[in-house]
Amino acid sequence: MSASMLDGTTSLRGTADPDRTAAQIGAAINVEQHPLDQIIRAERMPHIWCPGCGIGVAMRAYAQAILDFKFPVDDHVVVSGIGCSGRVAGYMNIDSYHTTHGRAIPFALGLKLANPKLVVTVFSGDGDLVAIGGNHLIHAARRNVDLKVICVNNFNYGMTGGQAGPTTPLGARATTTPYGNPELPFNLPYLLAASGANYVSRWTTLHVRQVKEDILYTFAKPGFTFIEVLAPCPVGFGKSNNIEDGLEEMELYRQRCVLATDGDVRAEELDIDLREERPIYVGRFIDRDRAPYQPVVIHAPGGAKEG
């Protein structure tokens, strides 16, 4: 977000194609089957997300990764918390859990320990995972539990009215910070790397292929993995910061995102400051092979197991 976006003097909206007629623009396209019909609950469409929201893009990448992964669909489980991203659990046609606020990771941890063969993915938002769920997040990463976390970061509490949260950039406006957020946000890649996650990356909803490929990669990566997906929230975050719609924020990502590779950017530089024309670094930041968490079994005298 440039200074001109913050003061409302610039718009990045494209112009309509003058050669397209109104009939062409409004014509319905009928198809018998969508490629994701087998993995998404089509009967629950249309979804509840606002126009321009990026969560559906991230969910589509997740769904496609499941279909591309050579693993039984019945062995995939998705767990979501509370918030706009929490609706993903209700839209995916796999075993799913829509849990209480901030508790997606402990629910997922119980599933994984009870049935280690499952591929357990936590799909939730920045408020649910990093605020009320922050303690669970860092300790699951510290233990290197074999969970796959997809965090959709839209910089605010979108479902409850656009309040500032733990990832709201310094200076950005929200309904609870109308004069600009005075607090520094979490640098999520830095936080998860320091906590011990085996894999950490960041993309945006503009990077659809990279998001899908990263999710696919983490399915086969042992240990705790974390993918941050920056996403537009036009109604919650955008309206307070003069970002007209989702397209405008996607254009911001196109202009400002820089691919960081092979550790050429220090972790401290991965923070996001939308007040200045600073780069937003994306890419794979951490990829290591710490042994994943294994529960300890104590054998009592006589051979009986104590849990």
pTM (predicted TM-score): 0.86
Lowest mean pLDDT among 18-27, 210-219, 235-244: 18-27
Q: How confident is the model at residue 12 (pLDDT cuts 50, 70, 90)?
A: very low
Residues 151-175 have a mean pLDDT of 94
* Average pLDDT taken over every residue of the chain: 88
Residue-wise over 189-205: b if at least 16 C-beta within 10 A, else e? Answer: bbbbbebbbbbbbbbbb
Q: What is the 3-state secondary structure (H, E, C) of the chain?
A: CCHHHHHCCCCCCCCCCCCCCHHHHHCCCCCCCCCCCCCECHHHCCCCCCCCCCHHHHHHHHHHHHHHCCCCHHHEEEEECCCHHHHHHHHECCEEEECCCCCHHHHHHHHHHHCCCCEEEEEEEHHHHHHHCHHHHHHHHHHCCCCEEEEEECCCECCCCCECCCCCCCCCCECCECCCCCCCCCCHHHHHHHHCCCEEEEEECCCHHHHHHHHHHHHCCCCCEEEEEECCCCCCCHHHHCCCCHHHHHHHHHHHEEECCCCCCCHHHHCCCCCCCCCEEEEEEEECCCCCCCCCCEECCCCCEEC
Strand pairing category for 199-204 and 280-287: antiparallel
What's the pLDDT score for residue 7?
39
Measure Cα distances from 166 to 22, 88, 101, 211, 258 in Å: 44, 22, 15, 23, 23
Say what the pLDDT of residue 153 is.
97
Q: Which residues have a Cβ under 8 Å from the Cβ of 118 and sit 6 or more positions away?
A: 75, 76, 77, 111, 112
**pLDDT tens per residue across span 99-117:** 999 999 999 999 999 999 9
Q: What is the CATH number of domain 53-290?
A: 3.40.50.970
Residue 31: predicted pLDDT = 74
159-to-18, 43, 112, 147, 248 alpha-carbon distances in Å: 36, 23, 29, 25, 21
* Digit-coded pLDDT (tens) for 220-254: 999 999 999 999 999 999 999 989 899 999 999 99
Mean pLDDT on 55-83 = 96
**Burial code of 260-296, b = ≥16 C-beta within 10 A, e = fewer?**
beeeebebeebbbebbeeeebbbbbbbeeeeebbeee
- Banded model confidence at residue 33, pLDDT cuts 50, 70, 90: confident
